[in-house]
Structure 1
Amino acid sequence: MKKRFIVVGLIVFIWLLKMNYDQIQSDTQLQSLQTQLTQLEQNNANLNDQLVALQRQSTAVPEQNSSTTAANVQPQVVQHSVLLVKQQLQLVQFALQQQQEIYAFEQLTQLQKQVPNYDIAPALQQSLEQGISKDLALIQQYHDLRQAQRDQANLLFKTLDQQLNRLSQSPDRSYQKTTNAHFWNNWFKVESVAQPKTELMNQHLVIKEIQIRLLLAKQAFDAGLTDEYQQSLKQASALFSQAPALQQPSVRASLDKAKQLPIPPIPTLSTLALLN
């Protein structure tokens, strides 16, 4: 009995370390994302400053050299304007890839207001304004869909966690290995070294491992990682299969629902294609 409590304590301790490690990874990824967004914003700000300087240069040239200087400066202004729009669109696309659709929507709305002030061809300006309007509608639709899916996933994974906690608190938590009816099994007891790991631990430890897999699945779902999401659910399902006493219809039904949750593809900005 003492050994059992020691093993349980060690497993729980390892599980807590795993939880802390996942949290640190999540915080690190978030910090890295914020750093990249800040760098992109800084690049846009620098390019915007250069554009303003070129515009001032084109309007403040001496009269005797106005025609020559303006002819040299104007193409640079147009080039910087197009480059600035492109960088801002790339920032929006990057935000979408990081599941930051609200930030992407705000940045694209800001760009929509700035486009009329840029020195670009009227035909290109009109195409950009039309493309941005379509992309804004696409991002809004994507955000509404993802938010509905997140709410559904939060409720589903919360239900799964509650179901697993109830199983963990049940009186009989020992792993029940299937017995054989042959009488000689009482004479000899041979155990394979390669037997499933769950045959050597109680249901409580198996449940903790399943909860870790489901936590990783939820993180993958929030990040829009379809393959990682399905892989974590597959691993959780395999643990259920190895522990017959955990084969509860309600838990299996919730897990099957989780597998059916779709993750829509990240929208691609049509406006960015105009400048590529």
Structure 2
Amino acid sequence: MPDGKIMKALSGFYYVKTERGLYQCRGRGLFRKKKLTPLVGDNVNFDIQEDNEGYITAIKERRNELKRPAVANIDQAIIVVSAKEPDFSTLLLDRFLVLVEANDIRPIIFISKIDKLIDTELAEIQSYQSIYQKIGYQVELISAQENKEYDQLSNYFANKISVIAGQSGVGKSSLLNRLNPTLEIDTNEISTSLGRGKHTTRHVELVEIYNGLVADTPGFSSLEFDTLDLQSLPVCFPEITKRQHDCKFRGCMHVNEPKCAVKQAVDVNEIALFRYEHYLQFYQEIQSRKPRY
């Protein structure tokens, strides 16, 4: 029985790529009984019927998965945030970083539209770039003007499955089109009345970029921490994880506890104050979340 990878999901059909070509498949009824849905990125076995059509018979074990967007077996998430239009937001970036870290996926940060900045604004963005790089994140500044920059991004994609995440209007589809001009993904201008772009991507699909696969998705439809618990939150901040073993109390949550190594690091600027403030904001948000029954 052949095996392959689901490259696209659309209207109940799954398009499975193998060495011999692309097959349009449906899922077996047993998946519905098990409440298991095939996802783009899944490695599957399938039964060929005729005319390159078939039925998926088994889904192999997943390394990880996202619910929104629905993608499995992801190596990394490229978080695209704009320097301007819409304005750069560390709060929004940190929300994306926490969501990605919580799913045990490696984040990479692309800051787009730097060509729209004046010198003082660029200097501020570069200072944030330095802060995130010191934490351990890879951060690239990209513009709509320099094709050379896009060629230099190729190493991020080779032999990996990536998901592109980011707020509407930051240029995710434009980025993919520049990386692979044959895609011709629809893009829309920023809605000036709303300050954000219109959603143009309607389904999940893996597209080929620089010898890798990228999930062209509608992005995260929710930025809520609806499945993240308080104990897992510190792990989503690498600079907190690095220091939490030096806290006096085991299980320290770095909020009100005395002799907390994390708070001491904030006091001496070893941890950026805005990152710690976002940690506290997310902590309160999760703590005040209504329980689900």
For the aligned pair, the TM-score class normalised by the smaller chain equals: under 0.3
Q: Which has the higher strand share?
A: 2
Q: Which has the higher helix share?
A: 1
Higher relative contact order (CA 8 A, sep 6+): 1
